[in-house]
């Protein structure tokens, strides 16, 4: 149990935190004190001046307690604190607009409206402790794998994926856009000879979805690698990353996992792989079809996730060989079968968390594919310039950080795994 300060020489302890509750038993008063590390019981003994102080405390006020530790197996962490000094640092207004009782769950909208309060709940705070472990673990993993971390611009002149789902911004005397992805800049680094790069940063999608899986701003974990033989190389890296993150969270977040009743077992590799054509046949058996463009819908992902879990015992699988009709212009097409691309999605417990692909690195084919997708090559001039002077075969992936956390903890809505979610209806706090 972490505390702010323990003076070992005389057994004194000093803790600062929020008053969660005061239990007045007449002769005794118990202050339930909460900080980021846990809960503590402060016991005001009969006849002490601290009985009066305890009775005056308002819920969610911030106090500092100095006292000594007394073993008490009935206390939440095995000991109580007998105060020698209580300082009220700030007094909370009443009533507190959000019920912070662990047994009371407000609506998600209200929880998000009062995010600064909902984060005081240990179970809510646990989400972001796990997210911190994952984010830090991602950085360490890729650094150990020899990747360079980059930070690309989020204000761009052209929509990355050539679509309409972009946020436009006024950029002096012209229109610019918020980046949908660092895709072009990752590939620029391949042209620059960096070979392996990663980035963790925000991306923006102006998609008017009102679902449990979509955000208009989310944190993307992006990688790009040169001199790959196929997109299997990218899949192999993602497998290693997921195993590593399971290990990191298991080691660092035992308390947080306990709050959610979760015991993690690192996934076994290699993850199952299912080509899109095979997935279509499986879904037919469940009365489902692929979308008109040959892509898969959320319900299809859930069905396949359950199918893979039952057949292979895996929470992860790769959906491979996406049709060209569902691909981006920069995806490489399969040799001998141009209707299929070297693209795959990583599905985690029935939800796509990663899109990956081998990129087309040949200039003339890129220009041709832009035309096939109905895009104006002149508008992508700065991007096409990367490929005029020698670019190695390469590929990469983009993974939603919040989606990893959502699926790992079994949350209902990706907004729960987002500190300050942005959706079509939410722009504050």
For residue 32, give the CATH number of its domain.
2.40.50.140
User: How distant is the alpha carbon of residue 260 from its chain centre?
Assistant: 17
Q: Tell me the mean pLDDT in the region 326-341.
A: 95
Provide the residue range defining the domain that includes 209. Answer: 117-417
Per-residue confidence (pLDDT) for residue 8, from 0 to 100: 40
Residue 189 shares a structural domain with residue 329: yes
Task: Say if 66 falls within a structural domain.
Answer: yes
Q: Which two tokens stand for residue 423?
A: 């959706």
Q: pLDDT of 108-128, one tens digit each?
A: 999 999 999 999 999 999 999
Q: Tell me the mean pLDDT in the region 62-91.
A: 92
Q: Tell me the mean pLDDT in the region 154-168.
A: 80
Residue 17 shares a structural domain with residue 55: yes
Residue 179 shares a structural domain with residue 121: yes
> Model's pTM, two decimal places?
0.93
Q: Tell me the mean pLDDT in the region 295-312.
A: 96
Task: Say if 350 falls within a structural domain.
Answer: yes
Pairing mode, if any, of strands 316-320 and 273-275? parallel
Residue 128 shares a structural domain with residue 24: no
Per-residue confidence (pLDDT) for residue 5, from 0 to 100: 44
Residue 207 shares a structural domain with residue 353: yes
Percent of residues, the chain, with pLDDT higher than 70 = 97
DSSP 336-400: TEEEEESEEEEEETTEEEEEEEEBP--HHHHHHHHHHTT--GGGGHHHHGGGSS----EEEEEEE
DSSP 117-184: HHTTSHHHHHHHHHHHHHHHHHHHHHHHTTPEE----SEESS-TTSSS---EEEETTEEEEE-S-SHH
Residue that terminates a domain, selected from 90, 109, 131: 90
Per-residue confidence (pLDDT) for residue 3, from 0 to 100: 45
Residue 386 shares a structural domain with residue 292: yes
Mean pLDDT of the chain: 94
The yes-or-no verdict on residue 160 having pLDDT over 90 is no
- Mapped onto helix, strand or coil, the DSSP state of residue 302 is helix
Task: Say if 108 falls within a structural domain.
Answer: no
Is residue 223 within 8 A of residue 181, CB to CB? The reply is no
Residue 142 shares a structural domain with residue 181: yes
Per-residue confidence (pLDDT) for residue 7, from 0 to 100: 43
């Amino acid at each position: 149990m972490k505390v702010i300060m323990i003076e070992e020489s005389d057994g004194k302890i000093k803790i600062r935190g929020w008053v969660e509750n005061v239990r007045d038993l007449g002769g005794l008063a118990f202050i339930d004190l909460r900080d980021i590390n846990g809960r503590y019981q402060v016991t005001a003994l009969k006849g002490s001046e601290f009985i009066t102080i305890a009775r005056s405390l308002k819920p969610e006020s911030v106090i500092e307690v100095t006292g000594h530790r007394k073993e008490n197996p009935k206390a939440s962490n095995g000991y109580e604190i007998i105060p020698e000094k209580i300082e009220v640092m700030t007094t909370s207004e009443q009533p507190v607009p959000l019920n912070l009782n662990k047994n009371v769950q407000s609506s998600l909208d209200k929880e998000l409206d009062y995010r600064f309060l909902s984060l005081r709940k240990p179970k809510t705070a646990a989400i972001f402790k796990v997210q911190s472990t994952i984010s830090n673990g991602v950085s360490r993993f890729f650094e150990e794998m020899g990747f360079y971390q980059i930070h690309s611009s989020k204000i761009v002149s052209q929509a990355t994926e050539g679509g309409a789902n972009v946020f436009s911004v006024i950029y002096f005397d012209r229109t610019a856009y918020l980046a949908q992805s660092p895709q072009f800049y990752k590939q620029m680094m391949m042209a620059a000879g960096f070979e392996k790069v990663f980035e963790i940063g925000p991306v923006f999608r102006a998609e008017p979805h009102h679902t449990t899986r979509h955000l208009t701003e989310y944190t993307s974990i992006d990688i790009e690698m040169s001199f790959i033989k196929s997109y299997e190389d990218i899949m192999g890296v993602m497998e290693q990353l997921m195993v590593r993150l399971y290990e990191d969270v298991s080691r660092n977040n035992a308390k947080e996992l306990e709050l959610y009743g979760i015991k993690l077992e690192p996934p076994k590799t290699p993850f199952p792989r299912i080509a899109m054509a095979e997935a279509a046949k499986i879904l037919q058996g469940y009365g489902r079809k692929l979308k008109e463009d040959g892509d898969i819908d959320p319900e299809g992902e859930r069905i396949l996730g359950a199918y893979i879990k039952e057949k292979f015992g895996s929470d992860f699988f790769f959906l491979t060989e996406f049709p060209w009709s569902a691909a981006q212009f920069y995806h490489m097409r399969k040799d001998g079968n141009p209707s299929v691309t070297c693209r795959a999605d990583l599905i985690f417990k029935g939800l796509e968390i990663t899109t990956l692909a081998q990129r087309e690195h040949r200039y003339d084919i890129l220009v041709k594919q832009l035309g096939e997708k109905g895009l104006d090559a002149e508008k992508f001039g700065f991007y096409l310039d990367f490929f005029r002077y020698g670019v190695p075969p390469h590929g990469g992936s983009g993974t939603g950080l919040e989606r990893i956390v959502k699926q790992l903890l079994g949350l209902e809505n990706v907004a729960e795994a987002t500190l300050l979610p942005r959706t079509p209806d939410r722009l504050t706090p």
